[in-house]
A and B are shown apart, each in its own frame.
Chain A
Amino acid sequence: MTEPLARPRRKDPLKKTRLPLNPQGARSRAAHGLTAAAAEGRFVLQSCADCSAVVYPPRDACPVCLSPRLPYKDVDARGVLLAETTVRSSTDPYFRERTPWRIGTVKLDAGPVLVAHLHGDTKEGGRVRLGLKLDKSGAPVAIALPEQDTPHMGDDPQLRELTCDPKFRRVLITDGRTAVGQAMAKAFSEAGSSIIFVGIADAWKPFPGMDALRGIERVEIIPLDITDSESVLEQAEQNGGRIDIIVNTAEHIRAGGIIERRGINIAREEMDVRYFGLMRLAQAFGPGMRFRGADGVNSATAIVNLLSVYALMNWPTYGAHSAAEAACLSATQSLRAELRSGGVRMVNVFFGPLETEWFQTVPPPKVAPAVLARAVIEALKKGLEDVFVGDVAEDVRLRLAVNPKALERELAG
């Protein structure tokens, strides 16, 4: 049984801050097929297109028939834990700080044998299911989980190293004026976050849902305008040392393509909120988060960026908006690399049209803010990096994977 996490006490300023370290993150190109799956929370292994052999570790030729056609496919993640060991002496500084550390040999029903991290509720000789996760270096690893969920299983220290669980962590939601920001605050409160800082620009201006937002447990409203560098810096100075997760809910959505826009003022605002806004956040909060990436139970762990799925392929109906989202997406890829040294994850959550005022004219299916918020919590609990919420986002993801050019034409309408 997993020992439930105790609420971390206020940090003793005289105690050492455990500095962030990463396990070895180098992987072969073939192994990055696992990275892609772990980022989305799928369990895949190479499966020979010619003889169907399921293969691990990742290879460039099938060890049964030598075929080079080894695509990754979803496979049954269940198996038996044949043997386990507790590593007490490690040559790697990351693990030296974290021993004792349990690993084991798992024989999958699908065939291959994997060396895997072990969740505390697994037993030698017992049934397990494997999960693919990204470790602090951003590289894919397998962890054996108990076959059925167990109480508090997310609190297991080895699993928690691979996730960004919001429980007992302190969150900053950058914009509480929006329906999405408010749904997010509620969801983090329910997920057990210790403080939910919610940014409000121009607090004197009332907004719908204000009273309900103030009523959510452990919500603390703070002044924050992510289009104002000073405002962002001030918040980082005030609260940056105790923010473990940032969810960037700042949005700027207007319909229209490029030619229809008169001038570039609105486009500039879009960029200011979405691209420069993220940059301001990252510059102000990033260094501190990176430094606290291994600082105990409530270490800094993730920046969540909410993105239109049309960041991946422009939707001309919202063409200028899509372009700003694409700029924001590109920035997250750089941030992902820059945050990695601190073990802080950059989570991109993609979604289609939302059930909000800015998408009134768009037909369903649309994503309700509460659904989006739940998806963010799930993503953090599972340790995902790329999340697609709702039918439209999933549709775009699949079409993009098959034929990006076709998708471009299809979105043009």
Chain B
Amino acid sequence: MTSTPSRRKAYDGVALCAPVTVPYRRYSTNSAHWWIGRALQALTKQAGLQPTDLDGLSVSSFTVGPDTAIGLTQHFGLTPRWLDHVPFGGASGMVGLRRAARAVQAGDADIVACVAGDTNHVDSFRKTLATFSRFAQDAVYPYGSGGANASFALIAKNYMNTYGARREDFGKICVAQRDNAMGVPHALMKKALTLDEYMAARPISDPIHLFDCVMPCAGAEAFLVCSEQTARSLELKSVRVLSTIERHNAFPGDPIQVRGGWAMDAGELWSMAGVKPDDIDFVETYDDYPVITMMQLEDLGFCKKGEAADFVRSHTLTNNGTFPHNTCGGQLSVGQAGAAGGYLGLVEALRQLTDAPLGTHVPDARIGLVSGFGMINYDRGLASGAAILARAA
């Protein structure tokens, strides 16, 4: 990995704290506002704050319409001086974190509540798919209406054809994540998964089978961004940000997606953090489908392009393994609560680095890498981001 030294300002003095998860439910009759409101309430309780103490708010949601972040300020009785709406799906956590961290550093806000939440009504998933984007409406949804399953099936099939990954390799990722989810009380998938069960699952959109797919659900995730000083005064355990990257619509000339924006920016990510892949104690990838996890392992520099299947074969991916990965089970086990899926890995990383995981601990976790990926606007995911986080000194 070659890279020039970073010219970007470090995230000195920024603290991430108060990881919050509103337990997921498969379907909810409540609105996205209800889920986001509960997450904000949990944040303030955990931090011992009044709602009016939140002077920054960053919101990510697919189902909060017709409202956006501005409407939510009145809905929740907040009067922030810094407000952001981050509708970037699986990259929402990364993008929200980056912006909030800079706002705190610059003094534009003292305490930013970052929250992602979505509801899942009985028919809301279909409606979200049908109107997801203009390109999806014009050029994807009319073709079988298989949703993300079909789009990622094409990407997965091409990846398997090109690099020789097998379903068993995807299965190993899924099985390990299920193992990691066993201690997580609100995980929607509570039953242990074997590789045989994975292989025998019904096909959804070949080569995607049932256990390659996330379960759409309702839920919310949240955390606070503030200064280290503020975190100390609130007596909150906190996590440091060593580096971050973000990229959109990378490699538009690739005829079909085999890599994401991480491949453009990984050098920057490592050099800014001053650490190497070997220094990472656990990795939270965005796991809407295991093929995307493989691309992240490659593009973030844990192995070379096309070698993720080998990498997976040569590691154990459970929390006590050689490469702890998606340590709360990821979306594949916990469920995908819309935009909260883009927060899941980040919130879990905060828990691991503050010794408060919902499930099992990663032993001696000091540094974690979190990655986000989102918005399959047409034929590929457009947004990518990653952050390297460290336990507070």
Contact = CB atoms under 8 A, between A and B. Distances in A.
A90 B142 contact: no
Given A90-B145, A90-B146, A115-B379, A84 B138 contact: no
B204 A89 contact: yes
A70 B124 CA distance: 35
Nearest to B254: A113
B202 to A, nearest CB: 8
A359 interface: no
B130 interface: yes
A141 B143 CA distance: 8
B141 interface: yes
Contact of B143 (A58, A99, A116): A116
A83 interface: yes
B139 interface: yes
Interface string B207-230: 110000000000000000000000
Contacts of A101: 144, 146
A101 B161 CA distance: 21
Contact of B252 (A23, A63, A84, A91): A63
User: How big is chain B's contact interface, by range?
Assistant: 35 or more
A57 interface: yes
B69 interface: no
Chain A binding surface SS class: loop
Interface stretch (A25-33, A220-228, A274-282): A25-33
A87 B256 contact: no
A101 B147 CA distance: 13
B125 A91 contact: yes
Nearest to A117: B143
A84 B130 contact: no
A95 B144 contact: yes
B204 A88 contact: yes
A124 B158 CA distance: 10
A92 interface: yes
Contacts of A397: none
A257 B127 CA distance: 54
B135 to A, nearest CB: 4
B154 interface: yes
Given A105-B158, A115-B140, A85 B206 contact: yes
A104 B158 CA distance: 10
Contacts of A56: 139
14 contacts: A24-B141, A31-B139, A82-B154, A83-B161, A85-B150, A85-B154, A87-B149, A87-B150, A91-B129, A103-B154, A104-B154, A115-B378, A115-B379, A116-B143
Contact of B157 (A30, A83, A95, A139): A83
A369 to B, nearest CB: 38
Interface in A17-44: 23-28, 30-31
B138 A57 contact: yes
Contact of A103 (B134, B143, B204, B255): B143
Contacts of A105: 154, 158, 255-256, 379
Given A85-B208, A90-B145, A105-B255, 15 more contacts: A28-B138, A30-B138, A57-B138, A57-B139, A82-B158, A82-B256, A85-B153, A87-B153, A90-B146, A95-B145, A101-B146, A105-B379, A115-B143, A117-B143, A137-B142
A141 B134 CA distance: 15
B126 A91 contact: yes
Interface in B143-175: 143-147, 149-151, 153-155, 157-158, 161
A103 B139 contact: no
A231 interface: no
B13 interface: no
Given A83-B161, A105-B154, A115 B139 contact: yes
Nearest to B150: A87
B145 A24 contact: yes
A160 interface: no
Nearest to B160: A83
